[in-house]
Amino acid sequence: MIGILFIGLVITLAAYIMLAKTWGDDSKKAKKQERAEIIRQLLALSDRENSISAASPPVRSRTPLTNQAM
């Protein structure tokens, strides 16, 4: 009787572990894809900023340097 209960418990535990691994892999893949998309967007924004800053002259401050020191 105890042997049958033990075997059922082991089978149930094995099934739970297998389901947890399959569901866990999908979320990891989704997270990796989301991270990759975020990195692509950040790189695109960085490239845009670099191209804009290279095309335009540097912005100068309108206030004189003496006022900034105070």
pLDDT tens digits, 27-52: 666 788 899 999 999 999 988 888 87
Q: What is the pLDDT of residue 2?
A: 80
Q: Is the pTM of this model over 0.95?
A: no
**Residues 6+ positions from 61 with CB-CB distance below 8 Å:** 68
What per-residue confidence (pLDDT) applies to 50?
82
- State the Cα–Cα distance between residues 62 and 48, nearest whole angstrom: 26
CB 61 within 8 A of CB 68: yes
- CA–CA separation, 45 vs 39, rounded Å? 10
